[in-house]
Chain A
Amino acid sequence: MLYVKKELLQVLKKEFKDRVRELPVFRGESTVEVDKEILLPFMGFLKHDERFKMDMLVDLTAVDYPGRKPRFVVVYHLRSIPLKHNLRVKCWAENDEVPTVIELWRAADWLEREVYEMFGVRFTGRELRKLLLPQKYPYYPLRKDFPLEGKETPCEVWDWE
């Protein structure tokens, strides 16, 4: 797995100034953190720029940091098929909300729905339905304060609509 080179990260920094921060490189995997306000232009740049061409959204997920504010960070794993490099992008979800990237990558559809049902992070600018859990399910099971055994829910919750 080849991640983007250092020089390319400098390009990002020049383009977006301090709104993009470089996170420590872990085992050759580069990560950048981006402000929520410029997430969409930033992602659009990554997708369309000649030097990046990130045309594939490999994964979209979130991490829960209980007690921190904002609590969730949304993580995007991007891949460029023509240029054969990867990049991980993190974006803190202030007020548990981030803009949707569904216009850029259709693959984000189900992934965002899954993040929504598991963490309760809302993606603005799209219709959100839970993907696997029943629509009436009141909790978010992948949050760290959710017990593994689950919480008691009334039976009707599990009925099919």
Chain B
Amino acid sequence: MGVREGVFLTKLEELINWGRKGSLWPLAFATACCGIEMMAAAASRYDFDRFGVIFRNTPRQCDLLIMCGTISRKMAPIIKRLWEQMPDPKWAIAIGSCAISGNIFQTYSTLRGLDCIVPVDVYVPGCAPKPEAFYEALILLKKKIKRDRPIIVGGEEECST
């Protein structure tokens, strides 16, 4: 079913995107030391709340997975399940070298990056990245959401470039 682009739909999309990017609710979930930076970013000094980011304790209320820390092979199925429990639309940010590539832990028990199990939107390098880097990731993600085409069919390929 194709929906043709029109002024009304475009405006509606903008409204939807505006709503989505203004209320990113991440999952309060971390597996290693990068989680400490996430706590710092969420606490009063750096204050994530002013971006509309409020941490939720259940994946069913979340639309953003901020993956902080080393992912062990045993934890991987759980993270995948958490991701599948999150309702669409959802996004994922990989924080730190561990969530990007496994960092120095090139062992039998460590997963080589979050993107082995979950599609990642933004990668934040660093070990651990400063809270400022978390902002940048959020701002990048918001830019990405702004270009999203939630209604118009076939719009997505256009914006992925």
Contact = CB atoms under 8 A, between A and B. Distances in A.
B60 interface: no
Nearest to A148: B107
A149 B76 contact: no
A26 interface: no
A133 B109 CA distance: 9
Contacts of A149: 106-108
A7 interface: no
Interface string B67-94: 0000001101110000000000000000
Interface in B73-128: 73-74, 76-78, 106-109
Contacts of A132: 74
B108 A141 contact: yes
A158 B74 contact: yes
A150 B74 contact: no
Contacts of B76: 158
A36 B95 CA distance: 51
A139 B108 CA distance: 10
B74 A134 contact: yes
B109 A150 contact: yes
Nearest to B110: A150
A159 B77 CA distance: 6
Contacts, number: 26
Interface string A134-161: 1000010100001011110000001110
A160 B77 contact: yes
Contacts of B78: 160
Contacts of B107: 148-150
B64 to A, nearest CB: 25
Nearest to A149: B106
Contacts of B73: 158
B108 A158 contact: no
Interface in A6-42: none
Interface string B8-35: 0000000000000000000000000000
Interface in A89-146: 132-134, 139, 141, 146
B108 A150 contact: yes
Interface in B29-67: none
B72 to A, nearest CB: 9
Contacts of B109: 133, 141, 150
Contacts of A148: 106-108
Interface of A: 132-134, 139, 141, 146, 148-151, 158-160
Interface of B: 73-74, 76-78, 106-109
14 contacts: A132-B74, A133-B109, A134-B74, A141-B108, A148-B107, A148-B108, A149-B106, A149-B107, A150-B109, A151-B108, A159-B77, A160-B74, A160-B77, A160-B78
Given A148-B107, A158-B73, 9 more contacts: A132-B74, A133-B74, A133-B109, A148-B106, A149-B108, A150-B107, A150-B108, A158-B77, A159-B77
